């Protein structure tokens, strides 16, 4: 899939940084400023930082520069985390509905509720599961999760090639269902945490978006990192003082 053009108005330093390691690479401070993928590693929508920073001198993240292979690992683990979240939701709802269908048809429930009520509950629960294909969606996300995890595992092989692995990751895109924005932002944060990158570069996701993300995936809220939000709120307090 062709990548969209970068927004205009970027400084020369930002442009040079993003071009040096590709469209989805990252850094923090004076290091390269990458875009945040808007849909599992596809073209960028903003110039936020992924938050790569050194943790310990001589440690695995001693250098703040992000290599193409490390960027691919970030995208792969974010992808896997996203599909794990979606798979878990659809699988749990499917199991609950199947439990309701079986329970409503049991003799114990029929002895308590009128037969028409029990039959109606079982029918509605079964129709919801059938119409929304919850089992099929859970299976799809499970398959995509495993593909992303396999790519992540291959990235640690001695002769790992980020270009070949990037092609494998891109081949997943045609099978991707419509994006769930809040869930993707949470997956971004989990990938950031898993790789030990800057906490301030994680995305702020409000509590209502976390709770209702699977019910209202198009819910709107301010898109900003934790560091940006802290700075904005401090600026408001300074103006109010």
Q: Is 44 helix (H, G, I), strand (E, B) or coil?
A: strand
Q: Quote the pLDDT of residue 220.
A: 86
Show pLDDT as tens, one digit a residue, over the chain (241 residues).
444 444 444 444 444 433 333 333 333 333 333 444 444 444 333 323 444 443 333 333 333 567 899 999 999 999 999 999 999 999 999 999 999 999 988 877 878 888 888 889 999 999 999 999 999 999 999 999 999 999 999 999 999 999 999 999 999 999 999 999 999 999 999 999 998 888 888 999 999 999 999 999 888 888 899 999 989 888 887 787 6
Q: Go through 37-64 and write b for each residue having 16 or more CB atoms within 10 A of its CB, e for each that does not.
A: bbbbbbbbeebbbbbbbeeeeeeeeeeb
Q: Quote the pLDDT of residue 48.
A: 35
Of 71, 38, 47, 68, nearest to 176 (Cα)?
A: 38
Query: Residue 37's beta-bridge partner residues?
Result: 44
**Distance, CA of 225 to CA of 19 (rounded, Å):** 22
Domain ranges of the chain: 67-177
Q: Quote the pLDDT of residue 116.
A: 87
């Amino acid at each position: 899939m062709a990548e969209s053009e970068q927004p205009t108005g970027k400084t020369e330093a930002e442009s040079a940084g993003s071009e040096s390691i590709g469209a989805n690479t990252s850094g923090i401070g004076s290091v390269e400023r990458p875009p945040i993928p808007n849909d599992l590693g596809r073209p960028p929508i903003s110039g936020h930082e992924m938050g790569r920073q050194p943790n310990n001198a001589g440690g695995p993240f001693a250098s703040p520069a992000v290599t193409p292979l490390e960027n691919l690992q970030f995208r792969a683990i974010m992808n896997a985390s996203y599909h794990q979240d979606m798979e878990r939701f659809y699988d749990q709802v499917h199991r609950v509905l199947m439990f309701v269908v079986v329970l409503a048809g049991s003799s114990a429930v029929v002895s308590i509720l009128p037969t028409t009520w029990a039959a109606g509950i079982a029918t509605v629960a079964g129709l919801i599961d059938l119409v929304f294909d919850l089992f099929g969606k859970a299976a799809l996300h499970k398959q995509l999760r495993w593909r992303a995890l396999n790519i992540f595992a291959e990235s640690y092989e001695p002769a790992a090639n980020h270009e070949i692995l990037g092609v494998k990751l891109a081949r997943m895109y045609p099978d991707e269902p419509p994006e769930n924005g809040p869930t993707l932002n949470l997956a971004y944060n989990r990938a950031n945490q898993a790789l030990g990158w800057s906490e301030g570069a994680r995305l702020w996701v409000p509590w209502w978006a976390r709770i209702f993300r699977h019910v209202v995936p198009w819910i709107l809220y301010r898109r900003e990192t934790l560091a940006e939000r802290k700075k904005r709120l401090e600026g408001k307090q300074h103006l109010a003082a």
